[in-house]
Chains A and B, each alone.
Chain A
């Protein structure tokens, strides 16, 4: 508390003196202000997303027209697309880097990094993060990771290309494929930097939430966004170090000649000296992070959509406690389900059975969340802001993609579906599209908070409808390819007679993907144009209850001038009967809303209940007659 008080004084005393005057570098580059860092994460995330999207269009072109030449590809890609055709090795590099960028740089750093940084201090009522310096380092490590990853496009042998899961021995042996040379080294370095970044971020988020909540903000008064960020950060802190352990062992195998993952290998006629290692070890280490990672991606999106759906339905989120407990359930269970990625890797079949049970259990909290979203919409008064549209889209994707998870989580069914397009369709819906929609919902909803201006709603509508329809057109048909036994990461379908019937579907899917990509131009234009030319944002544009909308629109260091507001109630008092407007911000004390207080609000505080009863006796309800 004392530090916060001191900070206050500091602001007051020196505001006019210019001591505090920020230079361009300290304000925009090496900023330690959580709002600026959030924006840095967001813009970097968007740029990386655009790059990953372009990569995906490139390999979709290859899949749709495997025997056509596209001279412009050679113009851009040079020897990787000689004669206008992408080469098989480069195709694999494209899918690998697309996956890596989307999972780690966009949906982990871009999503968690942006919204945890922006919302944690603002929604819990803190001046800044627990450690602003660590926060700044977190961004710059992330930035470095991005630069290192992208640099692999500028080397002779090309980027890593063993799939985003980089299974050894393929990734461990530089001779196994060109991408396993320097490109793979860069991938590993980038990943170490990235994990360092997300650990610094995660520790910061957890300590800020636990230690720096404003007066009255107990854990059960936190918005669901904060709960989601909190649990996500815990997941990241506990699982990312395991990936680093795995990565370090892989670096040793590649560079020092150890045999953690290698044994009994004859590569191209050469007998390798490695003995005693197991490639399965990598898979265990990787998926011990990899599966929680899926929830690291989706939980912030679920938190954001909970908030957005509640605000725009003008209704409290249904089953707030159930929502929190299901998030906690997902967090705990996500650590014991990693083996469902390994049912057919030759792992002991006994383990397969165990992992199947834990995997299908995790469907229960996910189902509860879905039903609670539906119940929140029921009898609401729904405002279709762009953010709300994206949140509804998220729920739809979460259902569609979640249900196919029941197939894949079942070890027996996974035998035939593993590594097919069914898996591709599944995770692109449930964690790709759903998480991206959560992120976009967040951007549209909190844009006024980030930039003090509004985005153009109509462009947002256009963006939503095009993306929503295109995403379904892209991913729904892919399930059927998988059910026909078409494996993923195939450079072309031309070598198999039975796959040729899917070529027309591939053309259709590629056009849908191009439509989805072009629809993002509406977003990008809207986003960057509105930073400078958007309409000035009002104080509380969505009539929302949470704390961030009490902070001034113009950003100031420390978020609130003077004292930080005190919190009196939970964040979901929307359309409370007896109150004249349909929202009551968290900062409004119960003494000002006597007409709408419910016995439940006082949490057993006898004195408060007595005061309320006396007031009700003195002011009999008149509305009931009318």
Chain B
């Protein structure tokens, strides 16, 4: 009896609170509505900007939640007081919410795949990139299947096996056969993925040089927060650098005592001919940066004190890509992907993939790094660089190839 009395007291108290709150809020609302109707339109822009507005909104939401909570409590207590079964079966509520979450969630995933999935990078514009994309698609299919199935099971079981006082769970501590199966199947699938990934990886980083289609060497040097590009010039070899030679006029520290350096050309953008392998020699002057060229599926860090090398073959010219993506402003880019300081977010250069002919034309227009000031600095005659004999360049070629190999092995 006393318990009952207590509950009824509490119930009435809670109801009274509830009523007052409702009455007050509705009164305020009416007042506000009346005020709004009477006064001319007030500019709310300043209000939406102030922090206090959002704090008040949040407090109002909290109050609302508290009221709902109290109302539920009152309802439950009144059920209890009347001797009826518990008001809200929360187990059923959560089970249904999980089922709902599963359905809406799966739709959301579908929406993401189709809407955001359509906003991604275009198809790879390089030979190895196509292999990477294939690998990606295969992995995506496998993981999506696993993702959907496991989530259906997870939320499905949560829905089906919700608590019921009448039932007892099934005592099922282990089953070695099942466990073996679901150890071995993932292991097999992963073995396939590992093998494919391993072969792709090898094909990217262990390239056999095709003597008929030699790679173009391009050196890219990063520093806070810009890139410098160096083309090898007529001899096809990027000359030596030594960071100790860095001066204001020789920002890259190019060693012009090395004959290969003298014809090296500077460029404001990276222009490369389609279907020719490009060998990127990546350096950094100060901190670690990352040379990232997503359209070609190329990324490698640039590390001070250690040259890194990435070789790839572009397959789609900029023009073709503009048509393909239906975007006349499309351009290839490379930018920094490794945190490198305050300007990290804006460290980019344009890339243009062109035909062989356009490439030659463009190349002819580029200036050499070696200028008259530097000639004086290195005690060289102030005159155009002599054209080297073919035999000379062939001899140094093999030396350069060797040093590149070493850099790769480092």
- The reply to whether B182 and A368 form a contact with Cβ atoms under 8 Å apart is yes
State in angstroms the CA–CA spacing of A478 and B161 once bound together.
33
Q: Does A495 contact B (CB under 8 A)?
A: yes
- The reply to whether B337 and A384 form a contact with Cβ atoms under 8 Å apart is no
Q: Contacting B69 at CB < 8 Å: which of A349, A373, A458?
A: A458
State in angstroms the CA–CA spacing of A292 and B348 once bound together.
35
Q: A169-B304, A316-B173, A400-B147 are in contact. Are A412 and B204 (CB under 8 A)?
A: yes
- B residues in contact with A317, CB < 8 Å: 173
Q: How far is the CB of A101 from chain B (nearest CB, A)?
A: 17
Q: Does A15 contact B (CB under 8 A)?
A: no
- The reply to whether A396 and B154 form a contact with Cβ atoms under 8 Å apart is yes
Mark each residue of chain B from 232 to 246: 1 if its CB lies under 8 Å from any CB of chain A, else 0: 000000000001101
- A residues in contact with B169, CB < 8 Å: 313-315, 379-381, 574-575, 582
Q: A266-B246, A364-B190 are in contact. Are A378 and B337 (CB under 8 A)?
A: no
State in angstroms the CA–CA spacing of A406 and B136 once bound together.
10
Q: How far is the CB of B24 from chain A (nearest CB, A)?
A: 23
- B residues in contact with A2, CB < 8 Å: none
- The reply to whether A356 and B194 form a contact with Cβ atoms under 8 Å apart is yes
Q: Restricting to A363-419, which residues have a CB under 8 Å from any CB of B?
A: 363-364, 367-368, 370-375, 377-384, 389, 392, 395-396, 399-400, 403-404, 406-407, 410-413, 415-416, 418-419
Q: Does A322 contact B (CB under 8 A)?
A: yes
Q: A403-B147, A416-B299, A484-B121 are in contact. Are A374 and B198 (CB under 8 A)?
A: no
State in angstroms the CA–CA spacing of A314 and B299 once bound together.
50
Q: Contacting A577 at CB < 8 Å: which of B158, B171, B187?
A: B171
Q: Does B22 contact A (CB under 8 A)?
A: no
Q: Contacting B183 at CB < 8 Å: which of A269, A368, A406?
A: A368
- The reply to whether A279 and B305 form a contact with Cβ atoms under 8 Å apart is yes
**Nearest residue, chain B, Cβ from A171:** B287
Q: A89-B342, A322-B179, A360-B193 are in contact. Are A413 and B135 (CB under 8 A)?
A: yes
- The reply to whether B304 and A279 form a contact with Cβ atoms under 8 Å apart is yes
Q: Does B328 contact A (CB under 8 A)?
A: no
Q: Contacting A321 at CB < 8 Å: which of B147, B174, B301?
A: B174
State in angstroms the CA–CA spacing of A520 and B173 once bound together.
36
Q: Restricting to B53-93, which residues have a CB under 8 Å from any CB of A?
A: 58, 62, 65, 69, 72, 90-91
Q: Which of A17-25, A182-190, A486-494 lies at the binding interface?
A: A486-494
Q: Which of A127-135, A221-229, A340-348, A532-540 lies at the binding interface?
A: A340-348
Q: Contacting A374 at CB < 8 Å: which of B150, B164, B335?
A: B150
Mark each residue of chain B from 102 to 117: 1 if its CB lies under 8 Å from any CB of chain A, else 0: 0001001100100011
Q: How far is the CB of A298 from chain B (nearest CB, A)?
A: 17
State in angstroms the CA–CA spacing of A462 and B93 once bound together.
12
Q: Contacting A412 at CB < 8 Å: which of B108, B135, B306?
A: B135
Mark each residue of chain B from 156 to 192: 1 if its CB lies under 8 Å from any CB of chain A, else 0: 0110011110011111111100110011001100100
Q: Contacting A392 at CB < 8 Å: which of B158, B338, B346?
A: B158
- B residues in contact with A87, CB < 8 Å: 342
**Nearest residue, chain B, Cβ from A170:** B287
- B residues in contact with A406, CB < 8 Å: 139, 142-143, 190, 193
- The reply to whether B90 and A384 form a contact with Cβ atoms under 8 Å apart is yes
- The reply to whether B190 and A170 form a contact with Cβ atoms under 8 Å apart is no
- A residues in contact with B97, CB < 8 Å: 465
- The reply to whether B58 and A518 form a contact with Cβ atoms under 8 Å apart is yes
Q: How many residues of B contact A (CB 8 A)?
A: 115
Q: Contacting A572 at CB < 8 Å: which of B143, B173, B253, B333?
A: B173
**Nearest residue, chain A, Cβ from B52:** A72
- A residues in contact with B72, CB < 8 Å: 458
Q: How far is the CB of B210 from chain A (nearest CB, A)?
A: 19
**Nearest residue, chain B, Cβ from A575:** B169
Q: A490-B344, A576-B171 are in contact. Are A176 and B339 (CB under 8 A)?
A: no
State in angstroms the CA–CA spacing of A377 and B282 once bound together.
53
Which of the listed residues A468, A476, A480 has the most CB atoms from chain B within 10 Å of its own CB?
Answer: A480
Q: Does B380 contact A (CB under 8 A)?
A: no
- The reply to whether B116 and A319 form a contact with Cβ atoms under 8 Å apart is no
- A residues in contact with B95, CB < 8 Å: 382, 384
State in angstroms the CA–CA spacing of A465 and B97 once bound together.
9
- The reply to whether A320 and B174 form a contact with Cβ atoms under 8 Å apart is yes
- The reply to whether A495 and B346 form a contact with Cβ atoms under 8 Å apart is yes
- A residues in contact with B343, CB < 8 Å: 88
- B residues in contact with A384, CB < 8 Å: 90-91, 94-95, 158, 162-163
Q: Contacting A379 at CB < 8 Å: which of B62, B164, B172?
A: B172
Q: How far is the CB of A276 from chain B (nearest CB, A)?
A: 8
Q: How far is the CB of A74 from chain B (nearest CB, A)?
A: 12
Q: How far is the CB of A317 from chain B (nearest CB, A)?
A: 8
Mark each residue of chain B from 352 to 393: 1 if its CB lies under 8 Å from any CB of chain A, else 0: 000000000000000000000000000000000000000000
- The reply to whether B341 and A176 form a contact with Cβ atoms under 8 Å apart is yes
Mark each residue of chain B from 127 to 156: 1 if its CB lies under 8 Å from any CB of chain A, else 0: 001011001100110110011001101110
- The reply to whether B288 and A413 form a contact with Cβ atoms under 8 Å apart is no
Q: Does B403 contact A (CB under 8 A)?
A: no
- The reply to whether A411 and B335 form a contact with Cβ atoms under 8 Å apart is no
- The reply to whether B288 and A279 form a contact with Cβ atoms under 8 Å apart is yes
Q: Does B286 contact A (CB under 8 A)?
A: yes
Q: Contacting A363 at CB < 8 Å: which of B190, B246, B287?
A: B190
Q: How far is the CB of B61 from chain A (nearest CB, A)?
A: 8
Q: Restricting to A350-368, which residues have a CB under 8 Å from any CB of B?
A: 352-353, 356-357, 360-361, 363-364, 367-368
- A residues in contact with B28, CB < 8 Å: none
- The reply to whether B139 and A92 form a contact with Cβ atoms under 8 Å apart is no
- B residues in contact with A169, CB < 8 Å: 286-288, 304
- A residues in contact with B298, CB < 8 Å: 415-416
Q: Does B2 contact A (CB under 8 A)?
A: no
- The reply to whether B290 and A419 form a contact with Cβ atoms under 8 Å apart is yes
State in angstroms the CA–CA spacing of A462 and B90 once bound together.
12
Q: A381-B167, A383-B163 are in contact. Are A419 and B158 (CB under 8 A)?
A: no
- The reply to whether A344 and B300 form a contact with Cβ atoms under 8 Å apart is yes
**Nearest residue, chain A, Cβ from B118:** A480
Q: Contacting A495 at CB < 8 Å: which of B116, B243, B285, B348?
A: B348
**Nearest residue, chain A, Cβ from B88:** A458
- B residues in contact with A321, CB < 8 Å: 174
- B residues in contact with A27, CB < 8 Å: none
State in angstroms the CA–CA spacing of A407 and B137 once bound together.
10
Q: Does B345 contact A (CB under 8 A)?
A: yes
- A residues in contact with B129, CB < 8 Å: 416
**Nearest residue, chain B, Cβ from A502:** B119
Q: How far is the CB of A24 from chain B (nearest CB, A)?
A: 33
Q: Does B201 contact A (CB under 8 A)?
A: yes
Q: How far is the CB of B154 from chain A (nearest CB, A)?
A: 6
- The reply to whether A345 and B301 form a contact with Cβ atoms under 8 Å apart is yes
Q: Does A552 contact B (CB under 8 A)?
A: no
Q: How far is the CB of A345 from chain B (nearest CB, A)?
A: 5
- A residues in contact with B98, CB < 8 Å: 392
- A residues in contact with B161, CB < 8 Å: 313, 377-382
Mark each residue of chain A from 138 to 155: 1 if its CB lies under 8 Å from any CB of chain B, else 0: 000000000000000000
Q: Contacting A415 at CB < 8 Å: which of B170, B193, B299, B305?
A: B299
Q: Does A83 contact B (CB under 8 A)?
A: no
- B residues in contact with A6, CB < 8 Å: none
Q: Contacting B297 at CB < 8 Å: which of A415, A462, A465?
A: A415
Q: How far is the CB of B94 from chain A (nearest CB, A)?
A: 4
State in angstroms the CA–CA spacing of A491 and B344 once bound together.
8
- 21 CB < 8 A contacts A-B: A263-B304, A265-B243, A268-B286, A271-B243, A315-B172, A344-B301, A349-B201, A353-B202, A356-B198, A360-B197, A374-B150, A384-B90, A406-B190, A410-B139, A410-B197, A413-B132, A461-B90, A477-B116, A487-B292, A498-B333, A576-B171
19 more A-B residue pairs beyond the given contacts A267-B224, A278-B303, with a C-beta to C-beta distance below 8 A: A262-B304, A262-B305, A266-B286, A279-B303, A315-B171, A321-B174, A346-B303, A348-B409, A349-B204, A378-B170, A380-B161, A382-B163, A392-B154, A410-B139, A411-B198, A485-B295, A496-B333, A574-B169, A575-B169
Closest 8 CB pairs of A and B: A485-B294, A263-B305, A349-B205, A346-B308, A384-B94, A379-B170, A264-B305, A480-B116
